[in-house]
Each structure stands twice: as structure tokens, then as C-alpha cells.
Amino acid sequence: MMDFGFKISPSSTINLDKVDLEKFTRLHEIEPDVYKCMACGSCSSTCPAGRFSGMSLRKVILDLQRGKEKEAVAMMKNCMLCGKCTMVCPRGINTRHLILSIYRIYAEDEK
């Protein structure tokens, strides 16, 4: 570390968020691309499962970031893994692998 004669003090932000993001951190480790999502909704608008159940990957990602795991898991159960969202994602997120990772990390009977 170079000595500038001063130090940057550690952040004094107080985090009042009560959400436990432990699982989302794990998801992010496997799938760094999850932060690339800009919630444009291309995935949701092309999703064939959306017509039957209102499935939306955009919502799932937002829900997981906000700790609404129960809603996200319920929605994930409708995915058909067809890969249309991968094809249309403007950020090039590998959504199919992201979805499979969600199936692995999160569980159904949560709290």
C-alpha cells in the first residue's frame, strides 16, 4: 500500500436492511452475471411460461435481491428452461445456468 500521508476511514454507513442475503451472495459467487441484469424485462416478455403462470425472470432476480425468496421460488417452479430468455437478454446473461443455480441454492419450504 502506498503511503499518501492519510488513510481512508472505513465506511460508516449503517445498514438497516434486515434481509438475509447469504444465499444471494452464494448465487452471485456462482453466477457473477446476476448483477448485470438491468431489469429490462426482455426475458419476461418472451417467456412462454409467462402466458400460463405469470412467470418472470426479471421479477425473480429482483425478488431474490430483496430477500423475497418465497415468492421467487414459487415463480421459478413454472420455468420450462426453454432458453428464450438467454437468446434475448441484451446483457448476455446465461439465464439457463442462472435458473439451474437458483434451483440448487434456494429451497422450497423456506421459513
Residues in touch with another protein (CB under 8 A): 33, 46, 48-49, 51-53, 73, 76-84, 86-88, 92, 94, 96-97, 100, 103-108
For another protein, the closer of residues 67 and 94 by Cβ is 94
For another protein, the closer of residues 14 and 80 by Cβ is 80
Do 91 and 33 form a contact (C-beta atoms < 8 A)?
Answer: yes
Supply 30's cell numbers.
Answer: 456462482
Closest separation in Å from C-beta 64 to another protein: 14
Supply 44's cell numbers.
Answer: 419476461
For another protein, the closer of residues 51 and 111 by Cβ is 51
Supply 55's cell numbers.
Answer: 412467470
Do 27 and 34 form a contact (C-beta atoms < 8 A)?
Answer: yes
